[in-house]
Homo-oligomer: A and B are copies of this chain.
Amino acid sequence: MHVFKATIDSEIMKETIEAISALVTECRLHTDDNGISARAVDTANVAMISLTLGKQAFKSYEASPGEIGIDIAKIKNVFGMAGSKDSLSLLLPDTVQKLQISFGSYHYSVTLLDTNTIRKDPNPPSIQLPGKVVIAGADLYEAIKAASIVSDKISFRIDPEAQIFEMRADGDTDQIDKVFSKEDVKDIIFVKARSMFSLDYLKDMGKVMGKADLVEIYLGTDHPVRFSFPIAGGAGHVEYLLAPRIEAE
């Protein structure tokens, strides 16, 4: 029997669901004694999320190993009704395929998805991404928004010679670039790297990453990018992996 019974600040649960909803509309939440986790890939196989939310993020937590099939849009609506200071109680009852969510004097009972109908969890690919930059999440999101004015793609580049990290978008007629020197970033590993990405995906991810103090960006050349950042004040963690777009010369 799958046991899941937990209490958590509503804001932490909202932040967790936001991170997932940037990529997928349904997912499989795994529970075990250490906390909850999810790994999912978007329908176009372009972006992947790996998320963990440790037991310590919860006010109370009790769970056996198992899976919960979540309709992300529906659960967002329910959590959206909770005030920012509400505590959410989550309970998987014995008998039915439902998740009971309570806060204040409210009790929701949400039918779960059959986990067999949800796409299989992806395996994390093993790729070497030697370049690394650590910047403020707000700076990253701002650059993504700025780039979308002129184009639908953006390139990330580490230039060891110029000693810079550059985000750059080239539109049909216009271009924009944002350059970070060593002083503008928290940390940087100067390995030559350059890849281009679709802004479609980055805009949704960027909204989530914009709330993180610092985001680690791992880069290669014509390789995926990996973004890594904490959620829930450090009690949880998200990794986004995004495939590159091939540049037509």
Q: Answer whether residue A60 sits at the interface, using C-beta atoms and an 8 A cutoff.
A: no
Q: Answer whether residue A180 sits at the interface, using C-beta atoms and an 8 A cutoff.
A: yes
Given the complex of chains A and B, what is the CA–CA distance between A78 and B146 in angstroms? 8
- Mark out the residues of chain A between 140 and 159 whose CB falls within 8 Å of any chain B CB in the assembled complex: 142-143, 145-146, 149-150
Q: Answer whether residue A109 sits at the interface, using C-beta atoms and an 8 A cutoff.
A: yes
Given the complex of chains A and B, what is the CA–CA distance between A179 and B98 in angstroms? 20
Residues of chain B within 8 A (CB-CB) of A78 are: 149, 176
Q: A108's contact among B110, B143, B145, B174, by CB below 8 Å, is which?
A: B174
CB distance from A126 to the nearest CB of B (A): 34
Q: Answer whether residue A2 sits at the interface, using C-beta atoms and an 8 A cutoff.
A: no
Tally of contact residues, A, Cβ under 8 A: 28
Residues of chain B within 8 A (CB-CB) of A173 are: 110-111
Given the complex of chains A and B, what is the CA–CA distance between A111 and B173 in angstroms? 6
Q: Answer whether residue A25 sits at the interface, using C-beta atoms and an 8 A cutoff.
A: no
Q: A174's contact among B109, B150, B174, by CB below 8 Å, is which?
A: B109
Q: Which partner residue on chain B sits nearest A169 by CB separation?
A: B108
Can you name 11 A-B pairs with beta carbons within 8 Å? A77-B149, A81-B145, A81-B146, A98-B174, A106-B143, A106-B146, A106-B176, A108-B174, A108-B176, A110-B174, A111-B174
